[in-house]
């Protein structure tokens, strides 16, 4: 018996499809797909969430000095003239950051192998490249999703059958985080 469904795709196409769907599920909380794809995505997503739950508190807070650009009342960088050139003025600030311990760092890297990069675009400026933000999916898993499921022993996702798709009659399902 096979360990996975081939989904009528070559291995690289199947891997890309599953990475995209797992990322969409974890980012949005639910996706609509076929039953066979949902069962494969569910396996991968449950493993990632279990990994995040296991490593969610495995970090230490460290204070570091960071250079931050000084800004004026409009939010623009303050510049001063030095040797005939305009140079941005920086202030040194103490910042607290989370430093991953080795096992959490390994878990983060395992997640990055499975997840694809996500760009978040604010609705009011849709279509403009300037205001897009990159979303750190492993951080979202550790900080938002893992605490939600900390007391739960598996069963992080649910498959709800919707009905047959009009075009080809494939069974469509809603795969969602519980």
Rounded distance, CA 137 to CA 19, Å?
12
More confident residue, 33 or 128: 33
pLDDT above 80 (res 1)? no
The pTM (predicted TM-score) of the whole model is 0.85
Q: Kindly report, residue by residue over 98-130, the tens digit of the pLDDT.
A: 999 999 999 999 999 999 999 988 777 766 677
Q: What digits encode the pLDDT tens for the residues 52-101?
A: 999 999 999 999 999 999 998 888 898 988 888 999 989 999 999 999 99
pLDDT of amino acid 127: 67
Which of the four pLDDT bands, split at 50, 70 and 90, describes residue 173?
very high
State the average pLDDT over residues 6-28.
97
Q: Is the pLDDT of residue 131 over 90?
A: no
Domains, the chain, ranges and CATH?
11-58+101-177 (3.90.1030.10), 59-100 (no CATH)
Cα–Cα distances in angstroms (integers) from residue 168 to residues 6, 7, 9, 49, in the given order: 18, 15, 17, 32
């Amino acid at each position: 018996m096979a360990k996975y469904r081939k989904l009528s795709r070559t291995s690289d196409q199947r891997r890309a499809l599953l990475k995209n769907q797992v990322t969409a599920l974890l980012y949005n909380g639910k996706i609509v797909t076929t039953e066979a794809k949902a069962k494969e995505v569910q396996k991968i997503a449950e493993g990632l969430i279990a990994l995040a739950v296991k490593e969610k508190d495995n970090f230490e807070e460290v204070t570091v000095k960071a250079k931050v650009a000084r800004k004026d009342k409009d939010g623009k960088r303050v510049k001063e003239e030095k040797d005939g050139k305009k140079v941005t003025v920086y202030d040194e600030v103490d910042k607290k950051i989370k430093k991953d311990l080795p096992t959490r760092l390994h878990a983060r890297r395992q997640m990055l192998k499975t997840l694809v990069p996500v760009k978040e675009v604010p609705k009011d400026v849709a279509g403009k490249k300037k205001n897009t933000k990159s979303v750190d999916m492993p951080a979202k898993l550790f900080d938002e999703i893992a605490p939600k499921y900390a007391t739960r022993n598996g069963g992080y996702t649910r498959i709800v059958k919707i009905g047959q798709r009009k075009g080809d009659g494939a069974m469509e399902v809603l795969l969602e985080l519980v």
